[in-house]
Structure 1
Amino acid sequence: MAKKIGFLSFGHWRDVTGSQTRSAADALHQSIDLAQAAEEIGVDGAFVRVHHFERQLASPFPLLAAIAARTSRIEMGTGVIDMRYENPLYMAEEAAATDLIARGRLQLGVSRGSPETALNGAESFGYRAPEGSTVADLARSKTELFLAAIQGAAVATTDPARAGVRAGLKIQPQSEGLAERIWWGAGTRATAVWAASLGMNLQSSTLLSEDTGVPFDQLQAEQIRQYREAWATHGWDRSPLVSVSRSVLPITTDLDRMYFGDSGEGDQVGLLEGVRARFGRTYTGEPDVIAAELAEDQAVQDADYVLFTVPNQLGVEYNARILATIAEHVAPAIGWKPAVAS
């Protein structure tokens, strides 16, 4: 598979000085506009983060469907949906409908979710882990039901009093091929191996909730290797896909330098929910320097899809320029070629 690139937006909005996204409406409409601009540049994917109880994007399917309706080639997806909060059958209906609108361009990332402001936030949505299990167990069991539903399994039965017979019922609509475009956001090597056992693609971000003392890209590359080895043992009839994300801020103008000139940094190691974790670095500087650095990034080289995070509050025009710079000067160094002429 040819390497693909996409952008990843957190969809922040704040009514503060300098923000181009003052409201939720701004963040939503500008996400659609940026996806259109990215498609024109030749970028392959438009991805959004999903966070609840925050001034960020939270309900992805209306947004993804709107992107699908306004574009023709670019893929759209999530990185990631927190399955603790989801009704898996209703989500299966939404995902299938969105994928049909997109004509098979949906790339859906799901996971256990990340640390959040809310205390037991999923419980406010009505979801509590059963006695003796964890919230991670809850997210996994919901994911398994979601996968079964989009694969066409019977998840309900007819009422014999009305149908005259007891028979299995699938969720509707169904979208052929969607199950092959579900990605698990794995924060450890063990969860990556679990994702392989269910036939999900692997989505690995700039945070891993474990640390072995090696640089981030090497730890992530080890996760990718173990995932692909596990995939091979299960005998799936297709090749697995892997995505990684990177924070890349090329400096080409004085405005870039004002915003990001001093923000470059190495890996960070710290405690996350009591667990030692490793965070990937931010790549900031001249485009050719970043290109050379990413060309040496082991996980970037091993991945099929590289997602570049964007500072969405700086607006569509600014972020489209960043993406154009990445597409022209950075992405070719990692093996990417544009799907359409720039």
Structure 2
Amino acid sequence: MSLRRLGFLTIGLFDPEHPRDGHETTLQLIELGERLGFDSAWVRQRHLQFGISSPATVLAAATQRTARIELGTAVIPLGAENPLRLAEDLATVDVLSGGRLNPGFSTGTPMHFDDYKEALYPGTWRDEDLSYARLLRLRGFVRGDQVSDFSGREGIEEYSERVEPHSSGLAERLWYGAGSLRSARWAGANGFNLLTSSVVQSEGGSTDFAAVQRAQIDAYREERGAGARVSQGLVVIPTDSATAAQAEKYRAYAASRAHRVGVPQGPRGMLFAADLVGSSAEIAERLEADAAFQAVDEVAFALPFSFEHDDYEQLLGDIAGALAPLLGWSRSDR
């Protein structure tokens, strides 16, 4: 399957002593992505860490510095969000972007939830529904379902019974980050687009990452049928234009994480994909042999967490200029 849509994903790290600088470089990367012809730019969300904690705010800024590139979240853990308030924020960003927002979500208990649940939901955290139902509520709010019993004029003010602003079409651009057969099937059955990343849950005793991920994609497509959109998010690190020092750093980075590959991690048996380091020709050959990549025509290649801005510029340039064309992609803005 030829690559149709090219995206990238960043965590947006920053120095806690100088947070503005990190957020600014994230926005600069998104601007660079648009200049290079990327179809989409995605940001992660991290709570109580030195990464993007407010994707909607960052992407609102990005809407004013870009004109074409689609903007996504991969992913927002809904357990730490109020779905109605988040629906207002996302609809606002989508309006500002002219309909370019692609919000992705996860459900369930957020990471380290026990460490901050009392701060987030003081005295009420036990009552919060963190299941799939939370995402269905959010979609209803985005879609324009009634949320208030009152609408109309009160004095000089007008009130709506639905979330405002309403952004038509946003409800069809919601994504779910699935890592298991169960969650992939649920996403398909409930009409969400599918985000699949470099981490999946080992199932059926297999430790073959690509085979497990392909099974999840196939299960999703069986449920979703027509209109199924799947985006894969592996870590690719092309070295075509890298300096010798950069290439050495990239190889050392991948080597430091290689021990996780093929070995189920934690109580859920999570599997990690190998980081793909090498020339674009070498990476393209490995991707074309990957059973899961063969089933997608959209990607959001993940940038490594801890590199420097110059490294990210080099990687994005090589991905768009060398790797993606080898995979059949061409710029849609030309």
Q: TM-score, normalised by structure 1?
A: 0.86
SS at match of 2:235: strand
CA distance in 2, matches of 1:214, 1:65: 40
SS at match of 1:138: coil
Q: Does 1:187 align with 2:179?
A: yes
Quote the offset at 1:13 in angstroms: 2.4
Superposition pairs of residues 247-258 of structure 1, within 5 angstroms? 247-251=235-239, 252-258=242-248
Letter paired with 1:99: D
Letter paired with 2:11: F
Letter paired with 1:261: R
The answer to whether the Cα contact below 8 Å between 2:38 and 2:69 also exists between their aligned partners in 1 is yes
Q: Which residue of 2 aligns with 1:18?
A: none
The answer to whether the Cα contact below 8 Å between 2:235 and 2:304 also exists between their aligned partners in 1 is no
Choose which of 279, 289, 292 in structure 2 pairs with 1:296: 289
Q: Which residue of 2 aligns with 1:77?
A: 72
Choose which of 23, 26, 42 in structure 2 pairs with 1:28: 23
SS at match of 1:268: coil
Quote the offset at 1:125 in angstroms: 1.2
* Cα-to-partner distance string for 1:68-125 (whole Å, 9 max, x where unaligned): 1100110111100000011101111110010010001001000026863453534421
Superposition pairs of residues 1-342 of structure 1, within 5 angstroms? 3-14=4-15, 23-112=18-107, 116-117=111-112, 119-126=114-121, 128-130=125-127, 138-158=130-150, 169-211=161-203, 212-232=205-225, 239-251=227-239, 252-262=242-252, 263-264=254-255, 265=258, 267-272=261-266, 274-311=267-304, 313-340=306-333
Cα 1:326–1:161 change in 2 (3 A) is: closer
The answer to whether the Cα contact below 8 Å between 1:50 and 1:81 also exists between their aligned partners in 2 is yes
* Cα-to-partner distance string for 1:4-29 (whole Å, 9 max, x where unaligned): 111111122247xxxxxx63212211
Cα 1:149–1:118 change in 2 (3 A) is: closer
CA distance in 1, matches of 2:99, 2:111: 31
* Cα-to-partner distance string for 1:172-213 (whole Å, 9 max, x where unaligned): 111010011100001101111111222110111111123331
Cα 1:215–1:334 change in 2 (3 A) is: farther
Q: Relative to structure 2, which stretch is displaced further, 188-197 or 1-10? A: 1-10
SS at match of 2:53: coil
CA distance in 2, matches of 1:198, 1:123: 32
Q: TM-score, normalised by structure 2?
A: 0.88
Cα 1:287–1:198 change in 2 (3 A) is: same
SS at match of 1:340: coil
Cα 1:84–1:40 change in 2 (3 A) is: same
SS at match of 1:78: strand
SS at match of 1:217: helix
Cα 1:55–1:256 change in 2 (3 A) is: same
Runs of 4+ displaced beyond 4 Å: 159-163
Structure 2: gaps spanning 5 or more residues: none
Q: CA RMSD in A?
A: 2.5
The alignment covers a number of residue pairs equal to: 321
